Amino acid sequence: MHPFHKRLLKEFKSLNKNPLPSIKILSNNENLTNFDFEIEITNGLYDDKLYKLVVVITKEYPVSPPKAKFVVGTREAGESGSTGTSENPIDVSSDTMQSSYKIPIHPHIYSNGHICLNLLGDDWTPACTIESILISLQSMINNNTDMTRPPDDNRYIKYAGEFASKDGFVYHDDSV
């Protein structure tokens, strides 16, 4: 059990009770330390609308931020975001084809899914929540106009570990 289980439980309940628009929990473990979220974005520049985000709660949470990254993977058809409630489950259209999650193109998101976001590093305080991360990531992509990877993408993904580490990051320009 996580030492701050009560806090995690409260956050979890709140996420279920008042779900964020276009964000849903795909799965989570019993201890509430591993979450898979599906984030739907409305930015017209993106062909794919649905992205999968993994959030891992560290032992130091909430003093330290959780770890978060986008991941690739297969997506079950008809299981699209909160908007697409399938009216006819027997409908055999292109929807039943298995499609996949990709890593969103963004100047602060590396092609391995690592995210360069101040909130996941220096700007985090214990008053922030999983929800604050989800909201700021969603708006970060929705407001993006620059469909490029970070300038150091190639170099970064060569040496990156499983998750982005706070120490190694130089935060890119915040205005993007």
Chain residues in the site for another protein (CB under 8 A): 4, 6-7, 9-10, 60, 62-64, 122-123, 125-128, 132
Q: What angle do CA 22, 23, 28 make, to 5 degrees?
A: 155
- Least distance between another protein and beta carbon 124 (Å): 8
Residue placing its CB nearer to another protein in the complex, 31 or 125? 125
Min separation Cβ 57 and another protein, Å: 14
Q: Closest distance between another protein and the C-beta of residue 141, in Å?
A: 21
Shortest distance, position 14 Cβ to another protein, whole Å: 11
Confirm if 76 and 97 have CB atoms less than 8 A apart.
no
**Please, which residue, 125 or 148, has the CB nearer to another protein?**
125
Q: Which C-beta is closer to another protein: that of 42 or that of 125? A: 125
Indicate the SS3 state at residue 115: strand
The overall longest dimension of the chain from CA atoms, in Å, is 50
In the complex, the smallest distance separating the C-beta of residue 122 from another protein, rounded to whole angstroms, is 8
CB nearer to another protein: pick between 36 and 123? 123
Which of 81, 66, 75 lies closest to 115, judged by CA?
66
- Cβ within 8 Å of residue 6, ≥6 positions away: none
Of the pair 59, 155, the CB lying nearest another protein is at 59
- 43, exposed or middle or buried, with CB in 10 Å at 0-12, 13-18, 19+? middle
